[in-house]
Amino acid sequence: MVPLDLKIDGNRLRDSLEEMARIGATPGGGVQRLTLTDEDKQARDLFISWLKELDLAITVDAMGNIFGKRPGQNNDLPPVMSGSHIDSQPKGGRFDGILGVMGPLEVLRTLHANNIETKRPIVIVNWTNEEGSRFAPAMVASGVWAGALDLKWAYNRTDIRNKKLGEELERIGYKGNTACNKFPVHCYYEYHIEQGPILEREGKTIGAPKGILCLHWYDIYLEGEANQVGPTPMEGRHDALCAAAEMILKVNLLPEKMGGNMVATVGEIQNYPNSRNIIPDKVHFTVDIRSWDDDLALRAWEDVKQDFQAIADRRGCPLGMEETWRVEHSPFDEKLVQRVLNTAERLGYSNLHMVSGAGHDASYINQVAPTAMIFVPSIGGRSHVEVENTTWQDCEAGGNVLLHCILKSANEV
Ligand code: GLV
Ligand code: MN
Ligand code: MN
């Protein structure tokens, strides 16, 4: 029985997070560590150097996922796994993803420093391209690992400069030799910032989501007719950007119209040729729809698709729509979620049963092994922004909950 007074080293966790935050640091206090860029490589190299200090068995799979395995007393038993992602949004914060990698690293350092053996092995993981902002979709590498997405399809995903994911993986030296395939896992914990306002509003330190909303991503392509803006009369124009503007507002109104619990967002747009005195003849934008109710999200798409077609027809702008990616809502293992809540309670941290609106690799791992997440508050509910912040005290609290959840699971036979 491991005493509850075993604690992680909060200062060491903070130091690791601060060192990682220097890689791709932005002037606004955030990070830009887009997947498979030089910054991602630099952070991966640092992560691996830290894994080596703990004598972990390191493997890199064909999607660039990095695993570090600490042996248990019985290495035939499936391991307990914990991890998240090193990559960030273009103007991301210093906690999203990386806390869930530095957290289990701190847990392993604590076990190492205290010579604590566990019955089962423990695996720490960094999943490639969780964010999906450079290469859509998000969580692509955990999706391939879980068998939900195809490796070749993933390799051929392109970024805005037409670089392929597979080539970029190779360029940074992280296309590993191990097959990207699921292996037996006893259970998976992902430690993360909440990325929303609930914990702060409720005055709670630890959140345990009952699961993650479904995520549906679409790509919309519009064509128009380019022309000189001055001499071309307003009537008879085929302005692809105006068509997109109408469509974007339809997306914004969709949750209210569908009358259910969902959110819908257009976050990315490219306009061509993007000159102030040319009528736009090509637009690409994205649609993101999320709900706990997969059916509602699908009906919302069918509904807005009709609006898109009507707008495109009226404006004489040919329309292309791609159903890029869908992951169903993901209800976590109830016993494991309860373990997170109980562990928080026993350690004296206030806690809350909630839902995750943000997507996480845990969605796909949940298809393979019992899964739960540990959330800590995001100050002001802000995330995917440079000012994203969480107190060091809360980072430490979440780390302690992770430590004791991992220990409990790793000593189960
Ligand atoms: C992942 O970062 C998401 O889009 O929720
Ligand atoms: Mn994340
Ligand atoms: Mn994110």
C-alpha 225 to ligand 3 mean position (Å): 36
Task: List domains and CATH numbers for the chain.
Answer: 10-213+329-410 (3.40.630.10), 214-327 (3.30.70.360)
Nearest listed ligand to the Cα of residue 127: 2
Q: How far apart are CA 400 and CA 213, in angstroms?
A: 26
Tell me what pLDDT residue 1 has.
61
C-alpha 77 to ligand 1 mean position (Å): 32
C-alpha 360 to ligand 2 mean position (Å): 6
Which residue out of 84, 131, 192, 290 has the highest number of ligand 1 atoms within 8 Å of its CB and is therefore the one to mutate? Answer: 131
Tell me what pLDDT residue 4 has.
77
Q: How far apart are CA 170 and CA 145, in angstroms?
A: 18
From residue 406, give the alpha-carbon distance in Å to each of 103, 122, 284: 11, 8, 44
Q: How far apart are CA 410 and CA 404, in angstroms?
A: 10
Residue bearing the CA closest to ligand 1, atom 3: 359
C-alpha 131 to ligand 3 mean position (Å): 5
C-alpha 236 to ligand 1 mean position (Å): 40
Tell me what pLDDT residue 256 has.
98
In the structure, ligand 3 is a single-atom ion and the residues with CB under 5 Å from it are: 96
Atom of ligand 1 nearest to the CA of 97: 2
Residue pair 200/378 in contact (Cβ under 8 Å)? The answer is: yes
CA 319 from chain centre, in angstroms, equals 30
Nearest listed ligand to the Cα of residue 89: 3
Amino acid at 88: S
- Kindly report the number of other CB atoms within 10 A of residue 8's CB atom: 24
DSSP 3-state of 411: coil
Amino acid at 57: A
- Ligand 1 pocket, CB under 6 A: 131, 138, 358-359
DSSP codes of every residue in 152-193: HHHHT-B-TT--BHHHHHHHTT---SB-------SEEEEEEE
Residue bearing the CA closest to ligand 1, atom 4: 359
User: pLDDT (tens digit, 0 to 9) for every residue of the chain, 413 residues total?
Assistant: 667 799 999 999 999 999 999 999 999 999 999 999 999 999 999 999 999 999 999 999 999 999 999 999 999 999 999 999 999 999 999 999 999 999 999 999 999 999 999 999 999 999 999 999 999 999 999 999 999 999 999 999 999 999 999 999 999 999 999 999 999 999 999 999 999 999 999 999 999 999 999 999 999 999 999 999 999 999 999 999 999 999 999 999 999 999 989 999 999 999 999 999 999 999 999 999 999 999 999 999 999 999 999 999 999 999 999 999 999 999 999 999 999 999 999 999 999 999 999 999 999 999 999 999 999 999 999 999 999 999 999 999 999 999 999 999 999 99
Nearest listed ligand to the Cα of residue 194: 2
